[in-house]
C-alpha cells in the first residue's frame, strides 16, 4: 500500500489537504462530492502531484492518490475508488447507508424509518471510511467526519429507532486509545452536549444494556 511521504505538502486553495488527514483525525475529512466520480479524484491527484514541484521534493502519483484518499477519510486509493463505484450503483447498500447517515445526523426520522424498513441490515453496516462507524455511532456527533458532526435535537428518538431495529449497543468504534462504543462517543461529545441531548442519550444507551467501561 502506498504511504504518504512528508515531501508531499498540503496545498493552498481548493486542494488544501490538512496533514492531520493522513492519520485518524476525522475532523479534517472532506465531504465526498456528489456525484462522486473516479475521474474527479484522479484529476485531483494529478493536480496535487503537479503542484509538488519544489526542488528536492519527491512525490509519486501513488503518494498523491493516497493523500487524496485520506483527505476524504479513506484508508487507501483503492478504498476511495471502491466507494465511488458502489455509491453510484442504484439502491446499493453503500448508497442506502450514506443516505441513512445523512438522515441520522439531520434528525430526519421519517427518511431513516423508511430506509430501515426497506433494508433492516443497515443498522449492522459500517462506514467505508477509516473510522468504520455504524449508524448508532453517528448519533453521537463525535468521532466521524467533521462535516457530519451533528447531534440533532431528536437524537434520543433516532437512537431508540436504531436500537429497536437491532443496532448493537456496544459495537466497537476504533478510538485513538482503543475501542470505544456509542456510550463513550456520546459521553465525550461536544455536539451532544451543546444540543442538550447528552444525558438523555447516555441514559437511553445504558437502558439498552450498554456497558459502562469508560476509563476515567
**pLDDT at site 51:** 78
Spatial distance between the Cα atoms of 125 and 92, rounded to a whole number of angstroms: 12
**pLDDT at site 212:** 83
**pLDDT at site 166:** 98
Q: Which letter, b or e, does each residue of 119-128 get, where b requires 16 or more Cβ atoms within 10 Å of its Cβ?
A: eeebbebebb
CA distances (Å), origin 104, targets 5, 50, 86, 89, 124: 36, 39, 21, 22, 14
**pLDDT at site 21:** 40
Contacts with 215 (C-beta within 8 Å, 6 or more apart), sequence order: 177
**pLDDT at site 5:** 38
Kindly give the parts of the chain with pLDDT less than 50.
1-24, 216
CA nearest neighbour of 175 among 147, 136, 121, 214: 214
**pLDDT at site 53:** 60
**pLDDT at site 49:** 82
Fold that domain 93-207 belongs to in CATH: 1.25.40
> Where do the DSSP E strands lie in 34-130?
none
Domain residue limits, the chain? 13-87, 93-207
Whole-model pTM: value is 0.81
**pLDDT digit string (tens) for 47-63?**
888 877 665 667 788 98
Amino acid at each position: 500500500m502506498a504511504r504518504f511521504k512528508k515531501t508531499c505538502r498540503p496545498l493552498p486553495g481548493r486542494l488544501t489537504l490538512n496533514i492531520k488527514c493522513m492519520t485518524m483525525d476525522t475532523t479534517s475529512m472532506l465531504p465526498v462530492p456528489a456525484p462522486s466520480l473516479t475521474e474527479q479524484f484522479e484529476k485531483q491527484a494529478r493536480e496535487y502531484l503537479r503542484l509538488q514541484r519544489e526542488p528536492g521534493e519527491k512525490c509519486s502519483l501513488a503518494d498523491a492518490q493516497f493523500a487524496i484518499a485520506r483527505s476524504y477519510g479513506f484508508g487507501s486509493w483503492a478504498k476511495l475508488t471502491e466507494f465511488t463505484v458502489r455509491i453510484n450503483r442504484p439502491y446499493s447498500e453503500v448508497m442506502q447507508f450514506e443516505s441513512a447517515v445523512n438522515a441520522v445526523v439531520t434528525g430526519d426520522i421519517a427518511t431513516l424509518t423508511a430506509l430501515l424498513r426497506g433494508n433492516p441490515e443497515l443498522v449492522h453496516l459500517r462506514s467505508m471510511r477509516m473510522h468504520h462507524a455504524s449508524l448508532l455511532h453517528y448519533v453521537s456527533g463525535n468521532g466521524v467526519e467533521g462535516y457530519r458532526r451533528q447531534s440533532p435535537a431528536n437524537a434520543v428518538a433516532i437512537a431508540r429507532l436504531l436500537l429497536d431495529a437491532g443496532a448493537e449497543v456496544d459495537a466497537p468504534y476504533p478510538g485513538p486509545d482503543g475501542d470505544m462504543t456509542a456510550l463513550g462517543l456520546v459521553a465525550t461529545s461536544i455536539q451532544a452536549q451543546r444540543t442538550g441531548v447528552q444525558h438523555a442519550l447516555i441514559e437511553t444507551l445504558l437502558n439498552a444494556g450498554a456497558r459502562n467501561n469508560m476509563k476515567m
